[in-house]
Amino acid sequence: MRIKVLGTGCAKCHQLEQTVRQVVQELGIEATIEPVKDMKKIMEYPVLTTPGLVLDEEVVCFGRVPSKAEVTQFIINAQARAEQQ
């Protein structure tokens, strides 16, 4: 799984990245986590505000820091979609 955290480096962006790393570790999945801080690259995604969370090139959340439970559910759902394909 490829996970991108969109954000210019603010505290909320760092918080989201830490939560994502924690959830990935707890779930024991293999994932590449990439912080995207370049505004030009961030603008390639349909997000109006950061932070943003992108799982396998699908934006699942932006403009807020989702809870750990939400991040867990986002990742589980993305895994299920990937397995169906």
Domain count, the chain: 1
The pTM score is 0.95
**pLDDT (tens digit, 9 = 90+) per residue, 51-70?**
999 999 999 999 999 999 99
Residues near 3 by Cβ (< 8 Å), separated by ≥ 6?
20, 24, 31, 32, 33, 34, 53, 54, 55, 75
pLDDT at 84: 87
Domain residue limits at 73: 2-84
pLDDT, mean over the chain: 96
Flag whether pLDDT at 43 surpasses 90. Answer: yes
User: Looking at residue 75, which CATH number applies to its domain?
Assistant: 3.40.30.10
> What would the mean pLDDT of 28-56 be, rounded to a whole number?
96
pLDDT at 45: 97
pLDDT at 79: 93
